């Protein structure tokens, strides 16, 4: 879920519905669909989305289960009541600040402490988040685009199938890194599809290929799924 610096926000019930709709889509994908690792931005909205999509069932009591997210009570105007979520496989969840939203200035992009997240999401690995407090956030200025570009490449890992749960501005800047090459090799259609704005709980699956070795390819596969209002219309 992407929020702005004002009080305008996506309704919590819409976010829950979007996660449920995308989770159902993932469950219906071919059996060869797989994820080796889930890399997630250490922000509450992305952590909840990651465990909601790639975790197991919700439970009242997590006895004997690996707990991904603890149950939470309702806080009016802030969050809804949610049951605990358990793991359904051995796929690791790794929090990484390199795929955080473009930070600074906007209060919604200031994260909580790692110690809070470790309690609420006990099976997510936060070892790559260097500071307990948020040292990236500057309340007086917005992070420049070049800084986000520098972060884009630092979270890449050796796994082949990586689910990245991140933010709209981060994905927009990442997409722009490929804009020129896409336009030159594949035309405006592929370019426009990649760089268009990401919606809430949208799944966009991209194959990154070395064109010098593999030749031309449109880089798309069948796992993509709409987000935002389009996703809500499917549920």
Instruction: Tell me if 225 is assigned to some domain.
Output: no
Instruction: Tell me if 23 is assigned to some domain.
Output: yes
Give 224's pLDDT tier (boundaries 50, 70, 90). Answer: low
Quote the domain boundaries for residue 30: 12-168
Instruction: Tell me if 149 is assigned to some domain.
Output: yes
| Separation of alpha carbons 66 and 122, rounded Å | 9
pLDDT digits (tens, 9 = 90+) for 162-213: 788 888 888 888 777 777 676 777 666 656 666 678 888 787 776 665 444 4
Six-digit token string for 160: 């082949």
Instruction: Tell me if 55 is assigned to some domain.
Output: yes
The 10 Å Cβ neighbour count of residue 165 is 23
Instruction: Tell me if 132 is assigned to some domain.
Output: yes
pLDDT at res. 31: 65
Tokens 């082949």 sit on residue: 160
| Separation of alpha carbons 234 and 231, rounded Å | 5
Instruction: Tell me if 173 is assigned to some domain.
Output: no
Contact 137, 103 (CB under 8 A): yes
194 sits in which H/E element: helix 188-195
Pairing of strands 58-59, 84-86: antiparallel
Number of domains in the chain: 1
Of the candidates 97, 169, 157, the one whose C-alpha atom is nearest the C-alpha of residue 133 is 97
Helices 168-176 and 188-195: angle between axes, nearest 10 degrees: 150
pLDDT at res. 130: 93
Instruction: Tell me if 6 is assigned to some domain.
Output: no
Instruction: Tell me if 178 is assigned to some domain.
Output: no
For the entire predicted model, the pTM comes to 0.71
| Separation of alpha carbons 80 and 73, rounded Å | 7
């Amino acid at each position: 879920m992407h929020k702005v610096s004002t009080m305008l926000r996506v309704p919590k019930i819409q976010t829950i519905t979007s996660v449920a709709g995308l989770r159902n889509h993932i469950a219906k994908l071919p059996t060869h669909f797989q994820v080796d690792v889930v890399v997630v931005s250490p922000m509450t909205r992305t952590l909840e989305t990651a465990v909601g999509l790639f975790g197991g069932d919700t439970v009242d009591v997590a006895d004997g289960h690996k707990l991904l997210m603890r149950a939470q009570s309702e806080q009016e105007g802030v969050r809804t009541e949610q049951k605990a979520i358990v793991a359904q496989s051995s796929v690791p969840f790794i929090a990484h600040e390199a795929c955080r939203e473009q930070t600074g200035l906007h209060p919604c992009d200031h994260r909580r402490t790692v110690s809070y997240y470790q309690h609420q999401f006990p099976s997510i690995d936060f070892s790559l988040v260097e500071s307990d407090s948020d040292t990236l956030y500057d309340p007086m200025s917005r992070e420049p685009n070049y800084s986000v570009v520098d972060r884009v490449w630092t979270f890449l890992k050796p796994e082949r199938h990586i689910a990245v749960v991140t933010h709209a501005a981060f994905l927009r800047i990442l997409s722009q890194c490929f804009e020129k090459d896409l336009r030159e090799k594949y035309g405006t259609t592929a370019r426009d599809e990649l760089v268009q704005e990401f919606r809430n709980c949208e799944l966009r699956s991209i194959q990154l290929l070395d064109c010098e070795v593999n030749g031309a390819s449109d880089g798309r596969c069948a796992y993509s799924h709409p987000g935002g209002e389009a996703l809500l219309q499917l549920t």
